[in-house]
Amino acid sequence: MPVNANLSPRIALTSVAMIALVGCTAGISRRPGPDSNRARTSGVQPMTAPDFSAQLKPMTLSGSNPTATSPSALVSLYGELQTDWQETAAGPWDGSSNVAQITFATEGACSDPDISRDGSRLVFASTQHSTTSDIYFTPVPGRTLTQLTTDPSDDIMPSLHPSGRKIAFASNRAGNWDIYVMSTDGGQPMKVTDEPEHELHPSWSPDGRNLIYCKLGSRSGRWEMWVVDTDNPGVRRFLDYGLFPQWCPDVARSKILFQRARQRGSRFFSIWTVDYINGDAVHPTEIVSAGNAAVINPSWSPDGSRIIFVTVVQPDEGDNESITQSDVWLISIDGSGRTNLTNGRYANYQPVWGGDGRVFFVSDRTGVDNIWSVSTNRAMESLRYQPVPIMTVTPGQYDVPAGQP
């Protein structure tokens, strides 16, 4: 596929190919580049990271003007509803008393959060100290930063081993994007993949023996999911087509969560699972889709009973170069009990669920992409005791007073 060298840094690195929400099965969801604040002010910049399809339309999240998206755009998670928004007791839950800021970058960006199983440490990628992305740890709660990687290339998409003693991540230090594993105590990373294609977004199996990752297939031209044995990296197995795979932390469920571009209709992204049985992907199941929204960035709850994800309403409207609003939602694995956790004003994305019931996510609500957390307690209580009607999303519906999250 041809390479487009004119993409903003916000898209280029943690995204690499995460450039499009629409238009192509090889397309991928918005994920931030290493210096999203710079991208917001300087527009499109030259880059060396590859674009994987000339057909993709670059998109960046910049600014926080809720009127940039059509106020008439309504989305239910199972299709379109042309009805007025009715605020319900099910949300939103990201008022100032329910949201906490976790990282405090004033330059660059923080992105790609992952949380340890015991909830004590957050790992993430950041460009707050460099123009290239490195991997950092921070205690939860706490404000100290421990830098894990210092390579002059870009290290992104960290994934903590279930034991907390190792970390997998993607890096372009060898010229293209490969998967690496290293100790959380530091040391030399071990290269797990070494192919001409680009491999991204590793996720550990619950027993910590295997990794699943996505690769843009040179023959298929599609995003493929592969499983590799980290003790024997030469043993790899193609699983299915999809993007941003994540292994269910509950070993009894033996499921893998991912996003996939729809093959007909709007071709926006939707959220799927497959069962991983005897090394094969079986029973593909679409959990969440929408007729007029991209449903992206899926992640598991710690017990594997629920999913959190992001919606971007009408991503193909406008100039396709700025998205100002996206929201975090949760839903049960059977498709019931859906509610939003963020309030329709900012760009909120890349959620991960911590063991204490808080969801960590990236938001531009201070003008710089940082990691925040929001409690799920109120939403879960509402789902437990009150019936939840079909939800809709209206961009910019909630006018949060200036100075509040």
pLDDT in tens, 198-254: 999 999 999 999 999 999 999 999 999 999 999 999 889 999 999 999 999 999 999
pLDDT for res 214: 97
Find the largest Cα–Cα distance for the chain: 56
End-to-end CA distance of the chain: 41
**pLDDT over 60 (residue 323):** yes
pLDDT for res 97: 65
pLDDT for res 88: 37
SS3 category, 272? strand
pLDDT for res 240: 96
Q: How confident is the model at residue 82 (pLDDT cuts 50, 70, 90)?
A: very low
**pLDDT over 90 (residue 343):** no
pLDDT for res 3: 28
pLDDT for res 89: 37
**pLDDT over 90 (residue 362):** yes
pLDDT for res 313: 84
Q: Where are the beta strands (DSSP E) in 51-207?
A: 99-101, 110-115, 121-126, 134-139, 146-147, 155-160, 166-171, 178-183, 190-191, 199-204
| Residues 121-141 pLDDT 10s | 999 999 999 999 999 999 999
Q: Where are the beta strands (DSSP E) in 289-381?
A: 293-300, 306-313, 327-332, 339-340, 348-353, 358-363, 370-375
Compare 384 and 223 and report the one with higher pLDDT.
223
Judging by beta carbons within 10 Å of its beta carbon (0-12, 13-18, 19+), is residue 291 exposed, middle or buried? Answer: middle
The top-scoring range by mean pLDDT among 296-300, 337-341, 379-383 is 296-300
Compare 349 and 321 and report the one with higher pLDDT.
349
Task: Indicate the helix (H) or strand (E) that contains 36.
Answer: helix 36-42
Q: Is the pTM of this model over 0.85?
A: no
Q: What are phi and psi of 137, to 5 degrees?
A: -115, 150
Report which of 200, 162, 201, 206 is spatially closest to residue 184, judged by C-alpha positions.
162
Question: For residue 214, what are its two tokens?
Answer: 């996505």
**pLDDT over 90 (residue 92):** no
pLDDT for res 96: 56
pLDDT, average across residues 326-353: 91
Count of C-beta atoms within a 10 Å radius of residue 206: 17
Q: How confident is the model at residue 33 (pLDDT cuts 50, 70, 90)?
A: very low
Give the rounded percent of residues in the chain with a pLDDT score beyond 70: 68
Distance between CA 3 and CA 16 in Å, rounded?
11
Compare 360 and 325 and report the one with higher pLDDT.
360
In the beta sheet, which residues pair with residue 241?
224
DSSP label at 41?
H
Class of domain 99-385: mainly beta
**pLDDT over 90 (residue 164):** yes
Q: What is the mean pLDDT of the chain?
A: 76
